[in-house]
Amino acid sequence: MLSVSEARERILSHFQATATETVSLIASSDRVLGLDISAAHDLPLFDNSSMDGFAILAEDTSASSLTLNVVADIPAGAAPNVTLTSGQAARIMTGAQMPQGANAVIPVEDTDFNERVAGTAAPKTVSFQRKVNAGENVRPRGTDLHAGDIVLHKGRVLKPQDLGLLAMLGVATVQVFKKPRVALLSSGSELIAVDQPLEAGKIHDSNSYMIATLIESAGAEVVRLGVAKDDRESVTALFEKAAAEKVDLIVSSAGVSVGAFDYVKEVIEAQGKMDFWKVNMRPGKPLAFGEYRGVPFIGLPGNPVSAFAGFEVFVRDVLYKLGGRSDGSRLKIKVRCAEEIESDGRESYLRASLHEQDGIQFASLTGHQGSGNLLSLVQADALLIIPAGVKCVPAGQEVEALLI
């Protein structure tokens, strides 16, 4: 039996990042940056005022009363065309470029002209009585970053604030990794579409909904191919469709156990190759990995919770790697078991809810851990990882938890 980490390494070594493409800035949200971004210019780009007020020479000021001649009016967006000298001031708005010669701004509220109604003309003179320090209320050029600084790294999933920064730097189009494309199919003659009435012995196909959205949550596009019946023709037809879609990966659920009606292995081997592994893991021991007509294939178990765990442990990181993402997979944190937990010695992923007490996260199992019991997965905040070889974790002991 393979260990979880051996199986992961074997799978991951087959994949590399997709090519990149260029998209508009607004379309780059949540996409993975395809190259390092360095700043084309300083930010702020010019010395500017952080207040509505008057640009002045700090050297003119003292604790006693001072009146200055207002020689210019500088709204935001204007290019100031004056050079202030001693005794002069310019009305200036927040974000407007500082005039030459000025090195500080006195806010309007500290002057005799506390007037901000739109359309009010600048006064001829302005008076105040306080010392102003050089640099006060001025945002100097380059305080945030300098031209040439690397501000975002390749492999980062772009967030809203990243788009804001890119816009500040005049980046209108962004090179991102192409989204990996994944064909998804379910297999099993018992499976009925969710909008069809159930019949004796049948169940709704739930895996395709869960796995499709898991694939999307990992930044990939999913091509849903539906359900193959448990016969050679039906399974072959769906794998042929998958290959024709020129996807980066085929993911299937079920049909890879050793049941008398499990045709997936046979169909794959007719046009490719397949390793069928037993991974020392619970849930989700059976895992298939191979290729069909040159397209990599991962076969997840059919039981819904096993399929979920198999996705999180094996498929998510494949999709991150294909998609060029540099961040790790789901967050793992340390939690304390609220109760004694038994395990069977396999590396186990147990459904647990978390609750905080005195700043410590405690984990309790969410009911029975059968691999078909999806409700206990729905109720879980995390999968507790009980390492291989451990059969009992006493209450209060720390374990790792994969946040879901």
Number of chain positions touching ligand AMP (CB under 6 A): 19
Q: How far is the CB of 306 from Mg ion (least distance, A)?
A: 12
d(CA 113, CA 85): 21
* Site membership for ligand AMP, residue 253 (CB under 6 A): yes
Residue whose token pair is 């006195």: 106
* Site membership for ligand AMP, residue 376 (CB under 6 A): no
In this structure, are residues 91 and 54 in contact, taking their beta carbons and an 8 Å threshold?
Answer: yes
Binding partner selected for residue 205 from ligand AMP, Mg ion, none, CB under the kind-specific 5 to 8 Å limit = ligand AMP
Helix (H, G, I), strand (E, B) or coil at 210: helix
| Contact stretch for ligand AMP (CB under 6 A) within 2-10, 135-143, 204-212, 384-392 | 204-212
Report CA torsion sign: 65, 68, 70, 72. negative
Q: How far is the CB of 351 from ligand AMP (least distance, A)?
A: 17
Q: How far is the CB of 174 from Mg ion (least distance, A)?
A: 44
In this structure, are residues 182 and 172 in contact, taking their beta carbons and an 8 Å threshold?
Answer: no
Decide whether 170 or 372 has the Cβ nearer to Mg ion: 372
Helix (H) or strand (E) holding 60: none
Decide whether 348 or 373 has the Cβ nearer to ligand AMP: 373
Decide whether 269 or 342 has the Cβ nearer to ligand AMP: 269
Q: Which token pair is 338?
A: 């609220």
| Contact stretch for ligand AMP (CB under 6 A) within 102-110, 254-262, 309-317, 328-336 | 254-262
Q: Which amino acid is at 102?
A: A
Which residues from 290-309 bind ligand AMP, rule CB under 6 A?
A: 301-304
Decide whether 191 or 401 has the Cβ nearer to ligand AMP: 191
Closest among 287, 352, 316, 307 to 210, alpha carbons compared: 307
Decide whether 203 or 270 has the Cβ nearer to ligand AMP: 203
* Site membership for ligand AMP, residue 234 (CB under 6 A): no
In this structure, are residues 156 and 162 in contact, taking their beta carbons and an 8 Å threshold?
Answer: yes
Q: Which token pair is 1?
A: 């039996």
Q: How far is the CB of 287 from ligand AMP (least distance, A)?
A: 11
Ramachandran class of 6: left when φ > 0, alpha when ψ lies in -120 to 50, beta otherwise: alpha
Q: Which residue is nearest to Mg ion (CB)?
A: 188
Which residues from 178-197 bind ligand AMP, rule CB under 6 A?
A: 186, 188, 190-191
As to burial, measured by CB atoms within 10 angstroms (0-12 exposed, 13-18 middle, 19+ buried), residue 328 is exposed
Question: For 121, which DSSP code?
Answer: P
* Site membership for ligand AMP, residue 207 (CB under 6 A): yes
Q: Which residue is nearest to ligand AMP (CB)?
A: 302
Binding partner selected for residue 48 from ligand AMP, Mg ion, none, CB under the kind-specific 5 to 8 Å limit = none
Q: How far is the CB of 206 from ligand AMP (least distance, A)?
A: 4
* Site membership for ligand AMP, residue 255 (CB under 6 A): yes
Q: Which token pair is 180?
A: 């990996």
d(CA 286, CA 52): 68
Long-range contacts of 267-275 (CB under 8 A, 24+ apart): 267/232, 267/235, 267/236, 267/239, 267/292, 268/239, 268/292, 268/297, 270/236, 271/239, 271/243, 272/297, 274/299
Residues that bind Mg ion (CB under 5 A): 188, 254
Beta bridge partners of 212: none
Given candidates 38, 69, 189, 206, which one binds ligand AMP under the rule CB under 6 A? 206
* Site membership for ligand AMP, residue 205 (CB under 6 A): yes
* Site membership for ligand AMP, residue 252 (CB under 6 A): no
Binding site for ligand AMP (CB under 6 A): 186, 188, 190-191, 203, 205-208, 253-255, 257, 259, 301-304, 372
